[in-house]
Amino acid sequence: MTGENKQQNSGLLGWLLFVVGFAGALFVGWVVFPQLLFSTKYQPINYNHAIHQEEAEMTCEDCHDFREDGSYAGKPTLEMCIECHEEPVGETEAEEFFISEYVEPGKEVPWISYTKQPDNVFFSHGAHVTLAEMECTECHRNVEKETEAPPVKINRLTGYPNEIMKMYVCEDCHAREQVSNSCDVCHK
Interface with ligand HEC in residues 72-91 (CB under 6 A): 74-76, 80-81, 83-85, 89-90
Closest distance of CB 68 from ligand HEC, Å: 17
Binds ligand HEC by CB under 6 A, chosen from 37, 38, 66, 129: 129
- Contact between residue 76 and residue 63 where contact means Cβ atoms under 8 Å apart: yes
User: Does 24 contact ligand HEC by CB under 6 A?
Assistant: no
Asked if 134 interacts with ligand HEC (CB under 6 A), we say yes
Report the residue closest to ligand HEC, judged by CB: 90
Residue 166 contacts ligand HEC per CB under 6 A? yes
d(CA 2, CA 88) in angstroms, rounded, equals 81
Radius of gyration of the chain (CA): 25
- The smaller minimum CB distance to ligand HEC, of residues 9 and 130, is found at 130
Interface size with ligand HEC, residues (CB under 6 A) = 71
- CA atoms of 160 and 157, how far apart (whole Å): 8
Give the one residue of 44, 139, 151, 162 binding ligand HEC; rule: CB under 6 A: 139
Neighbouring C-beta atoms of residue 75, cutoff 10 Å:
11
Question: CB-based contacts of 137: which residues, under 8 Å, 6+ apart?
Answer: none
Between 20 and 80, whose beta carbon lies closer to ligand HEC? 80
Buried b (16+ CB within 10 A) or exposed e, 21-58: eeeeeeeeeeeeeeeeebeeeebbbbbbbebbbeeeee
- Pick the closer one to ligand HEC by CB: 3 or 145: 145
Please tell me whether residue 43 binds ligand HEC under the rule CB under 6 A.
yes
